[in-house]
Structure 1
Amino acid sequence: MSWDSEYDIVCVGSGVGGLSAALTGAQEGASVLVLDKFHLIGGVSALSSGQLWPGPTHLSKAEGIDDNDSDAQAYINHLSQGFADPDLRKSYLAQSRGAIQYFTDTIGLQLQVIKDLPDYYYPAVKGSAPQGRFLEIKPFPARRLLGDWAGKILTSPYGDGFSYVTANEFVSMQLKGGEHVGTCLQRHVEADERTSGAGLAAAQVYAALQRGVKIQPSTEVVDLVVDEGRITGVIARDSSSSSSSSTQRIRARRGVLLATGGYDLQPDMVRSFDSLINAGNMTIPTITGDHLTLAAKVGAVPYSAHPSALTAIFVGYQIPGELIYGKPTWRLLLPGAPHSIIVNSRGHRFANDSFYPDVSAKAGRYDGQEQGLVNWPAWLVFDQDFVEKYNLLPAYPGQPLPQGIAVSSDTLRGLAEVTGIDADGLASTAERFNGFCKTGVDEDFGRGSLPWGTILTGDYSLPHPSFAKIVKAPFYAIKLHRVTVGVPTAGLPINGDGSVISAAGHVVPGLYATGNSAAYRDWGAGYNSGVANMRGMLYGYKASLHMVRGAGP
């Protein structure tokens, strides 16, 4: 069989999973090619917060943070709710700690602990910790170190705040005040010091180029090459050209890693696996479930390790006419800002609306008696104080709301009339919520009781950061959308080495998967920020080690 080019390892996808595999393989002496269908490098993880959740590590220990595997394991066990594979769940902490040490000490990634950021469910869940388990990349001087490559790596199109402010800086500003976020942002932008997912992507690309990894954007893998049951290469083409002459046959002597993300841009898959109809998304246009299509050829089928209601799917809103990457886009809502509540059509709050996982799970509640989604549709309801103090991106505090996203009225009853929300229900709900603002205790849903959510959206200048009355006219309502962010319900089943498992239960020789292309068999039901990126890093690392040290040609 003739090949156009040959490498030891071919990574399909350039997010944290693909780049972690590439870095590990190259460090271990393998020749590595990274292919990505999009014209920019970094994948969905480059648009993310960039956080990693490995549990206790040498970095948290160096910061003097008291933590242990026993507590962290209890936390993971609770969140898994029995859905995780026991062996993979038990190995996650030790394997993640080893991967983090490899990428800091051997590869040289400058990771740091996010101080004062608690686990999602602290203190409600046994084993949760007040800080120390989240990591992020330090600000990375992309333009200075990468030159022309800096322009080939994704930064967030949703505002510089997503790519140029660290979580450490944001949390410190929330809790302690000091430097204004705008000043911090400007300082990093002027120096092109990238943070969050964009910073992690830039740092990984820099390290990969130093090790001779070839990175090739605008290249779509359209098929796997199979020889006697083993994956031996890929067939790829120029994704910016329709010409068949652009097709390449690329040999992968050690293996092929699928790290193409989820399937957000495939409505049929979103409907089937995530139980969502007409969902919006905040991903790049190339997240189309390619890993599932490719792996189907060798008998690997999608696997769901948890209920779709517990997938990291947000609520958000759409600005009419806004296009990003040439496609309609949505905006993420992290709920919980004061002067706002989330209600259903009866005008009732139905969740802890300062904590997005609770809102997301209960928005999808299907009632067996009513035979319907009792909390959907839902609306964000807020007043003029919200607009002046917090607002909704892309508008900043005090600016007019983005055109077309909200309806308004001088009274809450008038707002109910134009939205179709039950007027009596909305009026009584607002009155009850305003009562909670006096004490800061939500007697119905525990708003403000989980510090993670309060840190993200609370106002620490107030006596009760998650609470302020909805009283100042005009009043506004935004009909919410379900919004996917690249973290799927279903993926390819893998073992502890990242090897893909077929429907018959056998390892597919030469085929690996990581990140959001791999099913959450190791984690189970409950999500926590940083898990998606950590899984990408972990199984990219493990897969390459297996290819180089264990799989053989």
Structure 2
Amino acid sequence: MSNGWDREADVVVLGMGAAGCAAAVAAADAGASVLLLEKMPEGREGGNTRISGGIWFNSLDRDGMATYLRSLCGPYTLPEEIIEVWADETYKNTEWLEGLGVTPGVHADYKPEYPEMPGAEFYGGYLGVNGEMGQQLLWKALSAAVRDKGVEVLLDTPADELVTDDDGAVVGVAATSGGQPLRVGARRGVVLATGGFENNPDMVRDYLQLPGSPVWGSPAGTGDGIKMAQKVGADLWHMDNMMAALGFAADGFEAGMYVMFIFSMGFICVGNDGRRSHNEIPPQGHGHGLIDGDYELFQRRPLHVIFDENTRQAGPISPPREILPVGWNLLMEGYEWSADNSAEIEKGWIQQADTPAELAETLGIDPDGLEAAVASWNEVCAAGNDPLGRPAATLAPLATPPYYGFTSAPLLGWTNGGPRRNEKAQVLDPFGQTIGRLYAAGTVSSTYSRCKDGGFHIGDALAFGRVAGRNAAGETPR
């Protein structure tokens, strides 16, 4: 083959999550031959899309959702051209999925997470395959569509480097397949859809200042696409934006364990001094909480989570499959959290002690501070008013020993930053010039500069995946 390629296609797509699948389908529909390279082996492919809620948001009005996105950005504004294309394409997501044979349905009655922001009234809640959440349903539908379109998929084939011509345009990919080098030529373009950098400890430390955070999702998101794009001159955006939650690393599991107090609100979060410093349950969305009158990243730093025997007995502190069928450990590893949290305590993932002071010693925090914090919290619950602003309905005392706790680093869900792109999904250099024939979509280059609502990440991946695939297919063949 020319240029020493082992394989060639019109469009080469890197990654098999929502963005990669959408790009591959769109490029194939535009008449291009498509080759999709997926880093992970069979049974582990699909990125975070596979183990997410698989939900996309219902856009009730194209212009209204454009207003909502502007509001969510706040001072971290996006180019108007990107907002307009985002609004157009996310409005079309449901119709496009129906064209692939998906039957959409409303999943529960989800309201906007930022109801006070202009445009929130046009957010129509969650849509899912057959109205269901998680269970790999959306990814299975998308990956089936990819193959139905005749797209060839090479699993266990991580891309190592983008290949450029003398003018700096991307003309192919150097990859490894089955442990052997593979050079793949792209006659029209390459689409990066390789996911985020949450599993790259150095990048997490440098960009997010979260050393030691475990990860909720797929182990595939190690920043490969970001680094490949940087090497060919890409600028970066949104590198400090993310979503994190309560959770911890667990021996024997690749991903961290996610914690969400559903059955009892009897818990507090404290710092190394043992003291509460903020409302643990502020009004919040996917990654941001309303704190001191403004939205900021939440959870943003390590915290120690404390609860008592009443909360332990109330139900699992990690949502069970019947409530939230998502996450790597649940869907891929098959881990089922115990109904009363006893198995996790026995494993040593959750620490136990007879008194708050003893628990503090185990967790490595100030014993006097935690004793005072628990006593103060119980007084707050008795009074029915939290000076830090926690809602009255969540004021459940910690009064029944033994006491339990764990340290949340916190758990990193996903990142938003990567190569800067324009409204055509073309990757840009630091001077705003396009890098020829290189496109990006999904969390490798998320649209979102600040706040995100539910279903926004899947919605964005589908929308700009299609944009990237169409435009790459429209390039003049080499």
TM-score, normalised with respect to structure 1: 0.73
Q: Is structure 2 residue 402 aligned with structure 1 residue 408?
A: no
How far apart are residue 349 of structure 1 and its match?
2.9
The 3-state SS of whatever aligns with 1:295 is helix
For residues 419-473 of structure 1, the C-alpha deviation after alignment (integer angstroms, 9 at most, x for no partner) is: 433145313332144236xx5x65522447xxxxxxxxxxxxxxx4x44332222
Mean CA deviation greater in 509-518 or 84-93: 84-93
Which residue of 435, 455, 459 corresponds with 2:382? 435
Distance 1:433 1:47, change over 3 A: farther
Which residue of 112, 121, 133 corresponds with 2:125? 133
Aligned mates of 2:348, 2:441 — CA distance in 1: 40
Aligned mates of 2:222, 2:456 — CA distance in 1: 21
Distance 1:267 1:109, change over 3 A: same
The 3-state SS of whatever aligns with 1:350 is coil
Aligned to 1:345: 272
The 3-state SS of whatever aligns with 2:243 is coil
Which residue of 89, 101, 119 corresponds with 1:108? 101
Question: Equivalent residues in 2 for 1:302-381 (5 A)?
Answer: 302-304=236-238, 308=240, 311-319=242-250, 321-324=251-254, 329-335=255-261, 337-354=264-281, 377-381=302-306
Higher helix share: 1
Aligned mates of 1:386, 1:473 — CA distance in 2: 10
The 3-state SS of whatever aligns with 1:251 is strand
Distance 1:288 1:254, change over 3 A: same
Aligned to 2:230: 296
Aligned to 2:56: 52
Which residue of 461, 464, 469 corresponds with 1:539? 464
For residues 211-243 of structure 1, the C-alpha deviation after alignment (integer angstroms, 9 at most, x for no partner) is: 1111111002122221233212112222x42xx
For residues 124-177 of structure 1, the C-alpha deviation after alignment (integer angstroms, 9 at most, x for no partner) is: 4343349723222227xxxxxxxxxxxxxxxxxxxxxxxxxx34xxxxxxxxxx
Which residue of 449, 456, 464 corresponds with 1:524? 449
Query: Residue type matched to 2:144 in 1?
Result: Y
Check whether the contact 2:282–2:289 (CA below 8 A) recurs between aligned residues.
no
Distance 1:500 1:231, change over 3 A: same
Aligned mates of 2:267, 2:302 — CA distance in 1: 17
Question: Equivalent residues in 2 for 1:143-182 (5 A)?
Answer: 166-167=132-133
Aligned mates of 2:122, 2:432 — CA distance in 1: 40
Unpaired segments ≥5 residues, structure 1: 57-67, 140-165, 168-194, 366-373, 449-463
Aligned to 1:274: 208
Question: Equivalent residues in 2 for 1:46-125 (5 A)?
Answer: 46-53=50-57, 55-56=59-60, 68-69=61-62, 71-87=64-80, 88-104=82-98, 106-122=99-115, 124-125=116-117
The 3-state SS of whatever aligns with 1:546 is helix
Check whether the contact 1:350–1:362 (CA below 8 A) recurs between aligned residues.
no
Aligned to 1:398: 340
Aligned mates of 1:70, 1:37 — CA distance in 2: 37
Which residue of 467, 472, 486 corresponds with 2:400? 472
Distance 1:220 1:417, change over 3 A: closer
The 3-state SS of whatever aligns with 1:293 is helix
Aligned mates of 2:283, 2:218 — CA distance in 1: 22
Check whether the contact 2:265–2:311 (CA below 8 A) recurs between aligned residues.
yes
The 3-state SS of whatever aligns with 1:426 is helix
Check whether the contact 2:107–2:126 (CA below 8 A) recurs between aligned residues.
yes
Aligned to 2:142: 204
RMSD between superposed Cα atoms in Å: 3.0
The 3-state SS of whatever aligns with 1:280 is coil
How far apart are residue 92 of structure 1 and its match?
2.1
How far apart are residue 84 of structure 1 and its match?
2.7
Distance 1:474 1:97, change over 3 A: same
Q: Is structure 2 residue 166 aligned with structure 1 residue 235?
A: no
The 3-state SS of whatever aligns with 1:486 is strand
The 3-state SS of whatever aligns with 1:84 is coil
How far apart are residue 36 of structure 1 and its match?
0.9
Aligned mates of 1:53, 1:412 — CA distance in 2: 43
Aligned mates of 1:363, 1:378 — CA distance in 2: 18
Q: Is structure 2 residue 298 aligned with structure 1 residue 388?
A: no
Aligned mates of 1:400, 1:445 — CA distance in 2: 31
Query: Residue type matched to 1:201 in 2?
Result: W
How far apart are residue 273 of structure 1 and its match?
1.3
Distance 1:360 1:235, change over 3 A: closer
Aligned mates of 1:375, 1:509 — CA distance in 2: 37
Unpaired segments ≥5 residues, structure 2: 293-298, 319-335
Aligned mates of 1:548, 1:323 — CA distance in 2: 40
How far apart are residue 19 of structure 1 and its match?
0.5
How far apart are residue 550 of structure 1 and its match?
5.8
The 3-state SS of whatever aligns with 2:247 is strand
Check whether the contact 1:363–1:375 (CA below 8 A) recurs between aligned residues.
no
Aligned mates of 1:284, 1:467 — CA distance in 2: 35
How far apart are residue 504 of structure 1 and its match?
2.5
Which residue of 411, 415, 428 corresponds with 1:483? 411
Aligned mates of 1:334, 1:23 — CA distance in 2: 36
For residues 161-206 of structure 1, the C-alpha deviation after alignment (integer angstroms, 9 at most, x for no partner) is: xxxxx34xxxxxxxxxxxxxxxxxxxxxxxxxxx45x111110111
Aligned mates of 1:199, 1:276 — CA distance in 2: 32
TM-score, normalised with respect to structure 2: 0.84
The sequence identity of aligned pairs, in percent, is 23
Check whether the contact 2:64–2:122 (CA below 8 A) recurs between aligned residues.
no
Aligned mates of 1:114, 1:292 — CA distance in 2: 33
